[in-house]
Structure 1
Amino acid sequence: MSYLLRKISITKWQPNLSQEPQHYTADAITGCTRTTRNTLSVWHSETMDFASEDVEKLIVALATTMQTPDTIDLIWLEPEWLNEAGVTIEATMGGSKFTDINHEHRDLVGIDHSLLAKVGQHIVQQYNRDRIIYYKRISRPNLITLMNKWVNERNVVKIDELNEKWQKVLAA
Structure 2
Amino acid sequence: MESDDIGADAVTGCLRTSNNTLSVWQCSLEETDVAEVVLALATPMERIDKIDVVLIHKNDLDEDGCILEATLGNTPVDDLRARHMDIININLTKLCSLARRIATKVRQNSNCYLFTKSKVQDIIVNAVKNNRFDVDSLNEKVRIEIQKKL
Relative to the length of structure 2, the TM-score reads 0.91
Structure 1: which 5+ runs fail to align? Answer: 1-14
Distance of 1:99 and 1:65 partners within structure 2: 12
Q: Greater share of strand residues, 1 or 2?
A: 1
Distance of 1:55 and 1:31 partners within structure 2: 20
Distance of 1:34 and 1:147 partners within structure 2: 24
Matches within 5 A, 1:18-167: 18-19=3-4, 23-45=5-27, 47-50=28-31, 52=32, 54-129=33-108, 131=109, 133-151=110-128, 153-167=129-143
Identity %, equivalent residues: 30
Distance of 1:31 and 1:59 partners within structure 2: 17
Distance of 2:14 and 2:46 partners within structure 1: 16
Distance of 2:18 and 2:62 partners within structure 1: 20
Length, aligned pairs only: 148
Large movers: runs of 4+ above 6 Å = none
Structure 2: which 5+ runs fail to align? Answer: none
Q: Are 2:150 and 1:168 equivalent residues in the alignment?
A: no
Question: What one-letter code is carried by the residue in structure 2 that aligns with 1:49?
Answer: E
* Cα offset, 1:56, TM superposition: 2.6
Question: What one-letter code is carried by the residue in structure 1 that aligns with 2:41?
Answer: L
Relative to the length of structure 1, the TM-score reads 0.80
Q: Which string of whole-angstrom CA distances, capped at 9 and with x for unpartnered residues, describes residues 10-69 of structure 1?
A: xxxxx67x31xxx43322221221101111111112x2111x2x3332211111122101
RMSD: 1.6
* Cα offset, 1:166, TM superposition: 1.1
Distance of 1:68 and 1:100 partners within structure 2: 22
* Cα offset, 1:82, TM superposition: 1.1
Distance of 1:127 and 1:31 partners within structure 2: 16
